[in-house]
Amino acid sequence: MYGALLYKKAGGEVMALFTREEALNYHSRGKKGKLEVIPIKPCLNQKHLSMAYTPGVAEACRAIIDDDQQAYEYTNKGNLVAVVSNGTAVLGLGDIGPLAGKPVMEGKGLLFKFFADIDVYDLNINQKDPDKVIEFVKMLEPTFGGINLEDIKAPECFYIEETLIEEMDIPVFHDDQHGTAIISGAALLNALEITGKKIEDLKIVISGAGAAAIACAKFYVRLGLPKENIFMFDSRGLIHKDRYVLNKYKREFAQDKDYGSLADVLKGADMFVGLSVKGILTQEMVASMAKDPIVFAMANPDPEISYPEAKDVRPDCIVANGRSDYPNQVNNVSGFPFIFRGALDVEARKINEEMKIAAAHALAELAKEPVPDEVLEAYGLKELQFGKDYIIPKPLDARILEWEATAVAKAAMDSGVARIKLDLEEYRSSLRGRLKAAQKRINEFVKSYGLMDELNFRSSES
């Protein structure tokens, strides 16, 4: 892990995208870390000072005393998300604790701001007791418009999120669960359209039974997949009703009996979903699958099987993974910033299933639209068309904001969890301008430190 390089394919050549030293330099140059809090109102004279603090601030306080909802008008609550983690399941690093996990949470804040103009405080807490995590997060409600739970291990993460959604009056969203489910769900919708398969007929094999895997299984069921068609494997094998020591979250997807090994069950299967470990899916297993197999190998940074390996034995397959150097990247950044953007802008009380499904359908539909030149240029591509190698939009496609946030806002209003109503056409047209303005401010701010050129990746030099 340490000193390793991240690789990407460029014109058939494998090259280093960055070195460990460059990654550390990115985090340490100029001001340390990746986030800074800056004022957005002036404080240059006596009048400014008296309005920013005492006595003028009392007018905002009185307005909120009279009507709680005025907090969205007179404070930053409506554009502020808490990224909360105890560091018990950080990326592929495991239980590294809240301090070592803080760079990830800062990075999450950077993505929120850059992709959706949402402000973030990252809160890395030294607490593993799920009830105490719940108690802590509930106390944050007056400050934040939403809570993004991050890198909390299963099964505690399920209990924590379920309880907070029930007991809080602002959106709570555990991205490790639902982000992967929503993005891969969008990819599944388009894979079905391309292959002509019907979701009610699919046989799906899932390798992995953690937070993301269980959330994916639940989400696919909501999209129409029969639960009995899901064969879920953990490190001990197929999950079935005769196995002992199954928590209630795994038990929900237990088969009626043991149908054998991963290789046995994959024979004739329509789809493989991997959220486990590198190399667990062999070429022989892929070769044994049904016609036009769907392979979502999403272990990071190295998938269960690589794109070339799968395509080599089954040219008819659709392959998605978490990497940016191959087609169909399942990247959570295509979900959480825009889901929260839509939820915050209608002052939603929660992020419900209707909003998640709306996000997946919006992504699926966007993939069918012509791809702008700036997206092709960002990925070094000449063309990109809807098909087996393009079933979900590229994460750097700026159109995701207007498509997905608008769909989420509409679903929130239609399902009754929005506090306010928006004119959706007006809202949609405003989003891209807002994002461009925010990104311009960010780039100008970064340039002021003299770091923009210094921190360019090698890929931009080639």
Residues annotated as part of the active site: 53, 108
Cβ contacts of 154-159, under 8 Å, gap ≥ 24: 154/89, 154/210, 154/211, 154/214, 154/249, 155/247, 155/249, 156/88, 156/128, 156/130, 157/89, 157/211, 158/211, 158/214, 158/249, 159/130
| Contact present, 207 and 230 (Cβ < 8 Å) | no
In 65-142, which ranges are E strands?
80-85, 119-124
Contact 347, 80 (CB under 8 A): no
CA pair distance 182, 248, nearest whole angstrom: 22
CA distance to 327, 373, 390, 460, per residue, from 384 (Å): 10, 10, 7, 21
Token pair recorded at residue 3? 């000193």
Question: For residue 407, how many C-alpha atoms fall within 13 Å in the half-sphere facing its CB?
Answer: 23
| Under 8 Å between Cβ of 325 and 348 | no
SS3 107: helix
Instruction: Count the residues in the chain.
Output: 462
384 neighbors 371 (Cβ within 8 angstroms): yes
- d(Cα 104, Cα 323) in Å, to the nearest integer? 17
Q: Using CA atoms, how far apart are residues 202 and 17, in angstroms rounded to an integer?
A: 38
Q: Give bridge partners of residue 81 from the DSSP assignment.
A: 120, 146
